[in-house]
Structure 1
Amino acid sequence: MSATRVFVARLAGCSVFDPAGDKVGKVRDVLVVYRSTGSPTVVGLIVEIPGKRRVFVSIGRVTSIGAGQIITTGLINLRRFEQRGGEVRVIAELLGRKVALRDGSGDATIEDVAIEETGPGEWGVSDLFLRRPRAGASPFGKGPTVFAAWDQIREKNTGGEAQSAEQLIATYSDLLPADLASTLLDLPEERRLEVAEELPDGRLADALEEMSEEDQVDIINQLDDDHAADVLDQMQPDDAADLIAQLSTERGEALLELMEPEEADDVRFLLSYAPDTAGGLMTTEPIIVSADATVAEGLALIRRHELAPALGAAVCVTLPPYEPPTGRFLGVVHFQRMLRYPPNERLGTLLDPSLEPVTAHTSAAVVSRILASYNLVSLPVVDENHRLVGVVTIDDVLDYLLPDDWRSSSGDEPHPVSTSTAAIPTRRRTSHGTRK
């Protein structure tokens, strides 16, 4: 059943389907244009299709909005979306904007925008969900909310006051890191920086790990040193090292000095290796246990929600100490093998005798051939003393082998095609390691 009035923030991430029931993509924003009189008119949706491409879907091609999904006609244009003059993105540009109520009762912030069907294939902005400032000086709680029609408010565009990013960030709270990265990069540059500055350090770190090095550098260079160092602390050491390697020597060293000593030491260690070697590709945070650890303990470690699948595929067994560089590397135990033995079985008895580690100076080409030849998702890396220093995972190698622009390259087909046959292969990178 199609709704006649919906709130835009609730549309973010909704699936878009064609009449045959095939999924086209996900809604990322709603596009409106202002009118000289009356409320803004909805002109269409910004939809993300496979390949991380943002395309424009005219509101006239939307046949149904409701139950968390949107149905379109069978044709869309795959030309990459480009915002035109006069067009406004509701989520990216209206949410969080401060307005004044015309009745003189004060200011408020737009938390959501309701759009309503005004005719066949026609939608317009109906109501605004506003939040007033909280009363008194208390830093806790939120102010009261109120609904208002468009003609009951006046936008505040004077004084150069920055648009609040709080509500926009709340809208993005459920996005996966790869989707968050794509959404950030789609924002206007000024808005992107504002949101990046307001995002929690861990969320921004997750998003940066999903971006190209060029985009990472662009964002990190606009943050002050203290903030940038905090974000780098939250990134995986190998990702942080890759990013710092793209900065000027002076900025990179300044950020390393501001980072937590333990995190900075890991990054410096990785920077000592060439980028096309196992040492340059590896992560320094594999799962490491003693030979006396049990199957139950190993399974508990790989069961952690924040652990990436590639790192959870096996545990590394070493002599003490158990932080890289460890004591002598003894071998790996694959999680599937652990599932075949009782919980009290010692992991030291389950080592894979066929898997040999590579040295930190092994070339990336050799590492990729080993992973492919033996159908592995991770490969231990040792130093000249056979101490474990890290693990190279399959996504590390894919990141290295794929072209620099793989995140954004998906072709530029300008002609309309049937959405049921317009599937584009999706490539997605998963961040690795355990978030500190």
Structure 2
Amino acid sequence: MSPTRVFVARLAGCSVFDPAGDKVGRVRDVLVVYRSTQSPRVVGFIVEVPGRRRVFLSIGRITSIGSGQIITTGLINLRRFEQRGGEVRVIAEMLGRKVTLADGSSTAIIEDVAIEETGPGEWAVSELFLRRPKTSASPFAKGQTTFAKWNDVRENVTAGEAQSATHLLATYEDLLPADLANALLDLPEQRMLEVAEELSDERLADVLEEMPESEQVGILNKLDDDRAATVLDQMQPDDAADLIAQLDEERGEALLDLMQPEEAEDVRMLLLFAPDTAGGLMTTEPIIVSSDATVAEGLALIRRHELAPALGAAICVTLPPYESPTGRFLGMVHFQRMLRYPPGERLGTLLDQQLEPVNASASAAEVARILATYDLVSVPVVDDNHRLVGVVTIDDVLDYLLPDDWRSHDDEPTPAPFVAVETRPQPIIQSGRRPANGSSH
């Protein structure tokens, strides 16, 4: 029987099952260690288990790889994964890397890596799938592809040159922003910055909104002012305001000057409020209509794909003008109520008479009590003249109430009945490189 060989890029996102057929997680990367005379040895997988926790799954605990799934013995170490010295992530750190063919004929980019079973419970890198530089100036042309053994290439990274993140991004394409943010936070800092540089402005904005403030600031500080301002334009105004508030005053003001005037105006207004008030928590972009708008018009506005679910749960009705700060606030109409009435019904007749708005100076605790007491997902915020200035959504309040490091909180979960805890072995590194101090698990 021929040895089992699989390509790593195809394993990204594959389900991991225990022997009973219960799903325990998804593959996010493959971990290898370099060896002096042989191709890199596979030591295990990085697996995402429920709760978006990344854990290590030893290659010795895997009984089958193939057909889009991985079967394990059921033994998984539930401690959060931390990369050790000498370990290399194939998807995050090898794909997109430049190499030179050993005969000196050409350079190439690693597009995929094949791993092969070399013995019971032992896997190693067998082949590289490479793409040579394109020879045509046409934007549609692609370089020739080829396969090469590990010993037939050598790494060719120019000092100071950033490793391409194109192929890594391809494996993250289908991830939700929160999951992508989590994946980036697991990368080495330099690699995270490289990937962030290659994300589109809109995608990077979505990801930054899901990151802790320290990482937000770190990434934004690596961007030039023009791109940083463009990314801030794409963010929700309340998230952009929170981020700018963490920057030094000079750069924050410079970025505000470069932002689109309408977006900058909303952010400047939010910066006037203390962070623990309704004004500091709110978003300035709710759905706002006149009392003469119909149910059909309201539902059409809610259907916009870019609208956050919490903002689509209700529509605000005001007197003109219809951009915050608006005319006098009249009330809210809940999405569920609109579904009970014919398309031509005027929204002004469907206002929730029981829901009172909060003043922008109201405390975050008061807003949280109102949302909890009346089972709401959003509450309108008005100024002293009863003009609508924004809404506070349930996710805004949760962000405020949870610990600052909740996105990377590392409380140990209770192991599922079918998941035992194993001790992760120290990988054997035969290349002569030693693990970094303090990197043991």
Q: With structure 1 as the length reference, what TM-score do the two structures score?
A: 0.91
Q: Contact 2:76–2:420 at 8 Å: present in 1 too?
A: no
Matched residue, 1:145: 145
Q: Give 1:212 shift.
A: 0.9
Q: Does 1:308 align with 2:300?
A: no
Change (3 A) 1:381 1:417: closer
Q: Contact 1:96–1:109 at 8 Å: present in 2 too?
A: yes
Matched residue, 2:240: 240
Q: Give 1:63 shift.
A: 1.8
Write the distance in 1 (CA, Å) between the matches of 2:379 and 2:371.
Answer: 7
Matched residue, 2:110: 110
Change (3 A) 1:375 1:412: closer
| 1:65-84 equivalence runs, <5 A | 65-84=65-84
Q: Give 1:140 shift.
A: 4.1
Q: Give 1:230 shift.
A: 1.4
| 1:204-219 equivalence runs, <5 A | 204-219=204-219
| 1:211-290 equivalence runs, <5 A | 211-290=211-290
Matched residue, 1:369: 369
Change (3 A) 1:419 1:226: farther
Matched residue, 1:12: 12
Q: Give 1:419 shift.
A: 6.3
Write the distance in 1 (CA, Å) between the matches of 2:360 and 2:216.
Answer: 26
Matched residue, 1:167: 167
| 1:46-125 equivalence runs, <5 A | 46-125=46-125
Write the distance in 2 (CA, Å) between the matches of 1:167 and 1:308.
Answer: 29
Write the distance in 1 (CA, Å) between the matches of 2:359 and 2:415.
Answer: 50
Write the distance in 1 (CA, Å) between the matches of 2:332 and 2:275.
Answer: 25
Q: Give 1:179 shift.
A: 1.1
Q: Which AA in structure 2 matches 1:387?
A: R
Matched residue, 2:418: 420
Q: Give 1:282 shift.
A: 0.5
Matched residue, 1:127: 127
Q: Which AA in structure 1 matches 2:101?
A: L
Write the distance in 1 (CA, Å) between the matches of 2:15 and 2:278.
Answer: 40
Q: Contact 2:75–2:419 at 8 Å: present in 1 too?
A: no
Matched residue, 2:331: 331
Write the distance in 2 (CA, Å) between the matches of 1:319 and 1:338.
Answer: 20
Matched residue, 2:195: 195
Identity rate, percent: 79
Q: Give 1:254 shift.
A: 1.3
- Cα deviation digits, residues 48-74 of structure 1 (max 9, x gap): 223333211101111222333322222
Where does the alignment leave 5 or more consecutive residues of structure 2 unmatched?
A: 422-441
With 12-21 and 205-214 compared, the bigger mean Cα shift is at 12-21
Aligned residue pairs, count = 419
Write the distance in 2 (CA, Å) between the matches of 1:188 and 1:142.
Answer: 30
Matched residue, 1:31: 31
SS in 1 for 2:83: coil
What do you get for the CA RMSD once the two structures are aligned? Answer: 2.0
Q: Give 1:421 shift.
A: 5.6
Q: Contact 1:24–1:419 at 8 Å: present in 2 too?
A: no
Q: Contact 1:132–1:144 at 8 Å: present in 2 too?
A: yes
With 291-300 and 389-398 compared, the bigger mean Cα shift is at 291-300
Write the distance in 1 (CA, Å) between the matches of 2:105 and 2:420.
Answer: 51
Q: Give 1:345 shift.
A: 1.3
Q: Which AA in structure 2 matches 1:328?
A: R
Change (3 A) 1:336 1:421: farther
Matched residue, 2:352: 352
Q: Contact 1:112–1:130 at 8 Å: present in 2 too?
A: yes
Change (3 A) 1:347 1:91: same
Q: Give 1:304 shift.
A: 2.0
Q: Which AA in structure 1 matches 2:56?
A: F
Matched residue, 1:428: none
Write the distance in 2 (CA, Å) between the matches of 1:141 and 1:297.
Answer: 46
Write the distance in 1 (CA, Å) between the matches of 2:31 and 2:142.
Answer: 29
Q: Contact 1:52–1:407 at 8 Å: present in 2 too?
A: no
Write the distance in 1 (CA, Å) between the matches of 2:102 and 2:117.
Answer: 25
